Amino acid sequence: MTTRRKLVVGNWKMHGSHAANAELLQGILAGGPVNADLAVCPPFPYLSEVAVTLANSAVAWGAQDVSAFEQGAYTGEVSAAMLREFGCRYAIVGHSERRAYHGETDQLVADKAKAALSRGVTPIVCVGETLAQREAGETEAVVKRQLSAVIHTLAHCIGEVVVAYEPVWAIGTGRTASPEQAQAVHALLRAQLAAATPHADAMRLLYGGSVKPDNAATLFAQPDIDGGLIGGAALKAADFLAIARAA
């Protein structure tokens, strides 16, 4: 079995300011090296200054979204090529908040992942079921359908993405999936990937949804959980570092 280096990504969502970002990044950088890959995903206007702050550090950065289009008359969109010009490493695609509030479909999410990859930006593809779907026993069908669109669209390149399993009911609610619940879905997703690519064993599957310093270690100890996509706890340097150290 391949040993996968853990990846811990901070999804800052629509939080931050010049001052708050500088303080947060200083805190993270002062924490010194950790035995995991780290990345932060600030809101778009701050990306280039975050890139400058993180230059020559071990912390990478990414965007929270990316356009499915190359360029053109798409008001408000940001292309993968633009992100790449600044050295962007990752782009979160298909976060449940974008699926829910911006009507993103499975196919649009897949097209965004393809646009990112085509420019050398690694998509972090989010999948996850709502509480109603879990209670209706649809978890497996939902996450498989969401991932399947990306597999079909990316074909042999699917091995290059990062997948994040984020049960919607666990996001920002303080209600985490148990390590067993998360592992069960991660194993399913890895099996689905293995049917599509010989590289599934090397792919990183992150868990997201109320990951905190006190639950990170047990989640990350699961065989198919290769790190986390962290929301609320990524806004405090001490918490983000504690989670990174748990990896």
How far is Cα of residue 133 from the mean position of the Cα atoms in its chain? 21
102/156 with CB nearer ligand PGA:
102
Question: Minimum distance from CB of 228 to ligand PGA (Å)?
Answer: 8
Binding-site ranges for ligand PGA (CB under 6 A) = 11, 166, 171-172, 208-211, 229-233
197/215 with CB nearer ligand PGA:
215
Question: Minimum distance from CB of 166 to ligand PGA (Å)?
Answer: 6
Q: How many Cα atoms within 13 Å fall on the side-chain side of residue 94?
A: 31
Question: Minimum distance from CB of 236 to ligand PGA (Å)?
Answer: 12
DSSP calls for 126-185: EE---HHHHHTT-HHHHHHHHHHHHHHHHGGGGGG-EEEE--GGGTTSS-PPPHHHHHHH
Cα separation, 213 vs 98, in Å, equals: 26
Show which residues are catalytic: 95, 166
In the complex, residue closest to ligand PGA by CB = 231
Coil, helix or strand at residue 122: strand
The two tokens of residue 232 are 């609320």
125/196 with CB nearer ligand PGA:
125
Question: Minimum distance from CB of 171 to ligand PGA (Å)?
Answer: 4
For the chain, the C-alpha Rg in angstroms (whole number) is 17
46/169 with CB nearer ligand PGA:
169
